[in-house]
Amino acid sequence: MELEQVLHRENLNRAWRRVVSNGGAPGVDGMPVEALKAYLTEHGPRIREGLTSGTYEPQPVRRVEIPKPDGKGTRMLGIPTVLDRFIQQAILQVLTPQVDPHFSPSSYGFRPGRSAHDALKAALGHVEAGYGWVVDIDLEKFFDRVNHDVLMARVARRVRDKRLLKLIRAYLNAGILEEGVVQERYEGTPQGGPLSPLLSNILLDDLDKELERRGHRFCRYADDCNIYVKSEAAGQRVMESITGFLEKRLRLKVNRDKSAVARPGKRKFLGYTIMGQKNPRLKASSEAVRRLKGRLKKHLRRGRGQAPAKLIAEISPLLRGWIHYFKLASVRSTFEDLDQWLRRKIRCILWRQWKQPQTRARKLMERGIEKERARLSAMNGRGAWWNAGASHMNAAITLAWFSQQGLVSLREEHRRLHHPT
């Protein structure tokens, strides 16, 4: 691959459109994506000259820490400037079609035409075929620990243009701006730039090829790798040998506390758990359910003073996005339990909003509860959560009422996705 391909006008136009459509926060220079076109119009010739002569220097990335999905700790993102995202995107568009066809069929993350759902279907197929033990390998802070020399040796197998190799190395070495100070970087490819996912796949392709050479069944999505074997003893042997390969050959560190050999039902993969051996089924993991509840609780706390319809409109996109990701699950009780939990939460908000016993009695009667029952229920002295689960609130705030307010039923949406009309 030559640098001239990267700098071809058509490729640059595509890269500009993609960066603008992706949006995202500014980098260290504060330039928003909306300003990129005007900046390139004015400075394009100078930037091209720097790239072709090898004198272009990427700006440091802006450090941003976001909470991990499991709520345990934070993940570091390195946000490049819009200009550097544009250049990285142009490299990515030329490099991907040249290297992706040579990647393993068992690699699914950040690849065109492949998805997490494809990886999950393949994993289920391995368990169905009798490979009922999983070697779940956790790479410790993978994107922060990538060895630049090891990675660049793999990139150099595919890229011959030394100017382009120098530019990719410059992006790896770009410092991190934190609290006004630029810190030099000697390892890692922080998430946040367009090139990082492809570079990770180039490095971990060595792992894929080693697993294929040994005849293993596996699924890898970015740094999340599960290997499927037929016995616990075989799994322990694979865990030991592959850990040695990763640490010696690729200089990556395996987190032994988080890695394990277990039945698939005891581990999670891409948010799912595989339940059962003879007739395995996919289920949304308990951790995925906890995370959804945590996100919903934030909205529900803010919505205590809102009209129910407004609150429901606010959480509906979150619910639809979640069920579309977990549509592969065939264990449906998860969705029914979540529906019941969410309806009770909203009933709890309503009970609190009604505040006074006389208001509660009136509201219950307006919704069809007999007068004496409404009065006794309003005066019971129990807490809001208890009342939200009691028969009088279930009779007053019915399933039909929730449907009229536009609340998404996860159970019904899951059924619709499985049986579209």
Q: DSSP letter string over 250-271?
A: S---B-TTT-EEE-GGGS-BTT
Order of all β-strands in the sheet with 217-221 = 217-221, 224-229, 133-138, 260-262
Cα 40 to Cα 373: distance, rounded to the nearest angstrom: 72
Cα 374 to Cα 394: distance, rounded to the nearest angstrom: 13
Helix (H) or strand (E) holding 61: strand 61-67
Selection from 271, 263, 286 nearest residue 328 by Cα: 271
> Which three-class secondary structure state does DSSP give residue 157?
coil
Residue with token string 């979150």: 318
Residue 143 has pLDDT above 90, yes or no: no
pLDDT, one tens digit per residue, over 88-123 is 999 999 999 999 999 999 999 999 999 999 999 999
Please state the φ and ψ torsions of residue 129, each to the nearest 5 degrees. Answer: -80, 0
Residue 2 has pLDDT above 90, yes or no: no
pTM: 0.88
- The pLDDT of 30-44, averaged and rounded, is 93
Which pLDDT value is given to residue 77?
77
Cα 235 to Cα 217: distance, rounded to the nearest angstrom: 12
Structural tokens at position 101: 């066809």
Selection from 386, 298, 387, 288 nearest residue 338 by Cα: 288
Residue 54 has pLDDT above 60, yes or no: yes
> Which three-class secondary structure state does DSSP give residue 39?
helix
Cα 419 to Cα 244: distance, rounded to the nearest angstrom: 46
Residue with token string 């740094």: 223
Cα 150 to Cα 188: distance, rounded to the nearest angstrom: 11
- Other residues' Cβ atoms within 10 Å of the Cβ of residue 338: 21
Q: Does residue 205 contact residue 223 with C-beta atoms inside 8 Å?
A: no
Instruction: Show the beta-strand stretches assigned E in 152-291.
Output: 176-178, 181-183, 217-221, 224-229, 260-262, 272-275, 281-284
Q: Does residue 145 contact residue 187 with C-beta atoms inside 8 Å?
A: yes
Residue with token string 């190395």: 169
Cα 300 to Cα 314: distance, rounded to the nearest angstrom: 10
- Distance from chain centroid for Cα 346: 28
Residue with token string 């949304």: 284
pLDDT, one tens digit per residue, over 177-236 is 555 544 555 556 767 789 989 999 999 999 999 999 999 999 999 999 999 999 999 999
Which pLDDT value is given to residue 73?
62
Q: How confident is residue 74, by pLDDT bands cut at 50, 70 and 90? A: low
Please state the φ and ψ torsions of residue 144, each to the nearest 5 degrees. Answer: -90, -15
Structural tokens at position 399: 């399933």
Q: Does residue 187 contact residue 84 with C-beta atoms inside 8 Å?
A: no
Kindly report the length of the chain: 421
Residue 338 has pLDDT above 70, yes or no: yes
Burial class (CB in 10 A: 0-12, 13-18, 19+), 22: exposed
Selection from 141, 137, 118 nearest residue 262 by Cα: 137
